[in-house]
A and B are shown apart, each in its own frame.
Chain A
């Protein structure tokens, strides 16, 4: 049985934040109907990576990942017929997820107040860079802007030598958007549970910048109570640098004294291990420039994999610094079936990351790959809404679908 098989979701969203939110729910069995603009589609279709590096709207790895298990339809919401079809979809839906600029739904005449007249119990989740109100509501942003505005960039990376030469940094990929998507899924599920008890729908206003800022919780509390500000030079926590070895780097962490003793033990208890300079976790991190060459004498004898096994075998937290290839080939992840083979008409079988939550009774399933543009127009418009095929032809000619 699928955990969310009773939920119908309409998605009118682009790129990451909206589509990933609904993907999480689709993977647990919610029926997600993804609405794309006719002929154009979701912007993610035109983003890298592409199969064989050749741009193609059905072969973007980002799009394929973000849209598994969804039905795809095309619909022009600017056309009056498009609006009325949209409202028919909303009438049957539990949830609408959208990530358009705040003015868009209102200008289309499809804002929450209007849609609620069609469906009293509708849960509408709106994800925007700055939220539905406030002075910046109409400002533009992308992942870069949200990471910096949310306070995450200023403290990244940690422990740089000269913050004046090393500017604030965004994280790899689209972390702000993924975080916002996951948070949107959390609060949407709360709304679903709330509604099952009181029957009331609601409009959820989720800002990507705020999603990032709320994850600065630790820094906010430490500033509020202790007036401490952590930038890129003074890392908030003590962490060693990356340690080179034969074929790359490893990252280890010894927050407690017994970890350090085990590390020394693994290295054959060298004499310098007792040096005052390296007595505490803090002093070791602060004296990293002195510690590193001593550790290198040992680490350069081994590969990343060897050090990983040796140190973890001694109870020391240590991992190779992996790239995508190494992550994809991890035996541990393979045993856990984290990567799933998914077939798609345009790309053939590819291995995708799955969702990092394994359920004992209602595991996630992939029943269909990401939809081709308009792939399910017939199924949804004829099968579900009862339009005749001839009407679909007319709607296509009129640019509605």
Chain B
């Protein structure tokens, strides 16, 4: 069975207690690469993604736990079982699942897994070589470990908000859950490092991931500038430390924009030629890289007088043909239509038993260790109860019915 078609994580089972984004995005990677990911969920306290973003055309919060678009994006290829962890029998069954798993992922507030007797020391007794990953806003240790964190507050806490903003502003709000996305990558990496170690030595371990730290580690320029020089930088907008032009310019059409970056003297000459060698480009204030950088505000105004007559794709075509970096600032509908991304098949249609087929992003590698990857439909809440409780744990139908009645399987 171990041939080129076998996915790299086939045979690895993940007990997934995580919710919202950072945890589920981690286990999405593992699932696509062949791991069997079992979400352990409950109606008693459902993943907020199952109800907060179930828009389905209305744009409003929905009630149905199986109709959230956002949920599908982070949970395809996984299985779902329902267990009420406020009941002792629920916890006992959770431990039985862990006993037959290789990895546990959770992103509760620190202390919650301990209250469930599902913290690392307890799990180690159940499964000595378990790899457990815990993701939280502040990490599992330290004086502020129990403080609450959501994406907007973590972006603020880590410094990223201070450095994302228009030039001259004091920072801004991000439109995405970037800290979750970063944390998910670090966690997926860390779990595989730990699995590699475990396969070699038989030793499991606990991994503590702080979302604040994940975000801080992606802004080293700012941290090192303070460390080295006690310098605190300001937001740069779309600007660069040395390059100019380097910005996002208005194009023809409503809310259409193109990003352009000129990195060398050679590229500047090519840029000027491509836009028709306008008079202003020969002026002294734009004569070298440093003077362009110093006068970039005026430079940008002149460039926009040209871009505004073109669509973003026209600008990309004209400039890239001349060897200058440029690309449209794409909205999500344009992203799905982009010819390059379409040819590379970044997006894939995945079915859903209730919602029908939707477009999802694949994970961005190819062809890689698993050319196809596993892309299966996202699970309904408790869809795999029978598989998990009957097939994996060997419970009888009678036992399962009884657990359902007692709202243990719930």
Contact = CB atoms under 8 A, between A and B. Distances in A.
A61 B236 contact: no
Interface residues of B, number: 164
Interface in B40-92: 48, 53, 55-59, 69-70, 72-74
Interface residues of A, number: 151
A140 B328 contact: no
Q: Is the interface of A mostly helix, strand, loop or mixed?
A: mixed
A360 B369 contact: no
Pick the most buried of B177, B190, B246: most chain A CB atoms within 10 A of its CB: B190
A356 B259 contact: no
A203 B173 CA distance: 38
Interface string A56-79: 000001101110000000000000
A360 B346 contact: no
Contacts of A316: 148
Contact of A190 (B3, B221, B370): B370
Given A190-B192, A338-B216, 16 more contacts: A4-B197, A134-B344, A139-B316, A150-B335, A156-B164, A159-B173, A173-B219, A190-B9, A217-B25, A217-B73, A250-B156, A317-B153, A327-B158, A356-B214, A357-B209, A362-B194
A198 interface: yes
A232 interface: yes
B376 interface: no
B396 to A, nearest CB: 35
Contacts of B230: 325
Given A61-B224, A193-B195, A338-B213, A322 B362 contact: no
B370 A194 contact: yes
Contacts of B147: 312, 317, 319
Nearest to A48: B241
Contacts of B8: 190-191, 193-194, 197
A158 interface: yes
Nearest to A350: B227
B381 to A, nearest CB: 17
Contact of A154 (B178, B222, B330): B330
A168 B257 contact: yes
A321 B161 contact: yes
B255 interface: yes
B174 A156 contact: yes
Nearest to B243: A142
Contacts of A174: 221
Interface in B352-377: 355, 358-370
Interface string B245-284: 0111110001101110101000000000000000000000
B156 A3 contact: no
B231 interface: yes
A17 to B, nearest CB: 12
Contact of B73 (A24, A157, A218, A360): A218
B332 A48 contact: no
Contacts of B259: 144-145, 147-149, 153, 168, 170
A315 B216 CA distance: 24
Contacts of B160: 171-173
Contact of A322 (B2, B159, B221, B323): B159
Interface in A219-265: 219-232, 235-236, 239-242, 249-253, 255
B152 A251 contact: yes
Pick the most buried of A123, A325, A352: most chain B CB atoms within 10 A of its CB: A325
Interface stretch (A269-277, A329-337, A373-381, A383-391): A329-337
17 contacts: A136-B340, A148-B258, A152-B176, A154-B329, A156-B174, A182-B186, A186-B192, A187-B369, A189-B192, A218-B70, A225-B69, A231-B255, A242-B173, A352-B224, A356-B214, A359-B190, A362-B194
A318 to B, nearest CB: 6
B143 interface: yes
A123 B370 CA distance: 13
Given A148-B329, A168-B248, A317 B361 contact: no
B192 A167 contact: no
